[in-house]
C-alpha cells in the first residue's frame, strides 16, 4: 500500500464510514455497526477502497432501505442484524455472504479489472428469507 491508498483509507474511515453508518441507522431506525477488515482492502491498489466507498456502501444502504420500507421490515432486521462486517478478497471462490450471530458478513472481490460485490438485490434476496 502506497501513500495514495493510505490517504484514501484514512478519508473513508474518518468521513465516508461515519456518514454511511449514520445513513443506515436512519433507514433502519436503530444503530447498525459496520466493521471493515482494512488490511484486506489496503493490501492492493486504490481500486478496492474506491469500490468499497462507491459500490458496497451504496448497495448495502439501498438494501437496508428496501428491507426497512415499513415497520415490519425494520423490526425483522433489528432482530437479526446488529453489525455488518465487510472483507475484501482477490479470490473469486471466497466471494460470499453469511448471516451469523446477528452479523452480516460480506466478503467482496473488489480487486482487479473484473470485480464482484454484493449488489442491492443480492443482499435483499439473501436476507429477506432469513428475517
pLDDT tens for 60-97 read 999 999 999 999 999 999 999 999 999 999 898 999 99
CA gap 16, 55 in Å, rounded: 12
The answer to whether 77 and 25 have CB atoms below 8 angstroms apart is no
How high is the pLDDT of residue 111? Answer: 86
| DSSP SS3 for 40 | helix
Each residue's pLDDT, cut to its tens digit, for the chain (131 residues) gives 678 888 899 999 999 999 999 999 999 999 999 999 998 987 778 889 999 999 999 999 999 999 999 999 999 999 999 999 999 998 989 999 999 999 999 999 998 777 899 999 999 999 999 99
CA gap 56, 44 in Å, rounded: 17
| DSSP SS3 for 104 | strand
The answer to whether 84 and 32 have CB atoms below 8 angstroms apart is yes
How high is the pLDDT of residue 114? Answer: 75
Length of the chain: 131
Residue found by looking up cell 474511515 in the block:
13
pTM for the structure as a whole: 0.94
Amino acid at each position: 500500500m502506497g501513500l495514495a491508498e493510505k490517504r484514501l483509507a484514512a478519508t473513508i474511515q474518518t468521513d465516508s464510514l461515519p456518514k454511511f453508518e449514520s445513513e443506515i441507522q436512519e433507514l433502519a431506525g436503530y444503530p447498525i455497526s459496520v466493521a471493515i477488515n482494512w488490511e484486506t482492502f489496503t493490501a492492493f491498489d486504490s481500486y478496492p477502497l474506491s469500490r468499497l466507498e462507491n459500490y458496497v456502501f451504496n448497495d448495502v444502504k439501498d438494501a437496508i432501505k428496501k428491507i426497512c420500507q415499513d415497520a415490519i421490515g425494520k423490526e425483522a432486521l433489528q432482530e437479526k442484524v446488529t453489525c455488518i462486517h465487510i472483507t475484501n478478497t482477490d479470490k473469486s471462490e471466497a466471494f460470499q455472504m453469511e448471516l451469523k450471530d446477528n452479523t452480516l458478513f460480506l466478503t467482496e472481490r473488489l480487486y482487479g479489472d473484473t470485480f464482484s460485490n454484493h449488489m442491492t438485490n443480492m443482499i435483499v434476496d439473501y436476507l429477506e428469507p432469513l428475517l
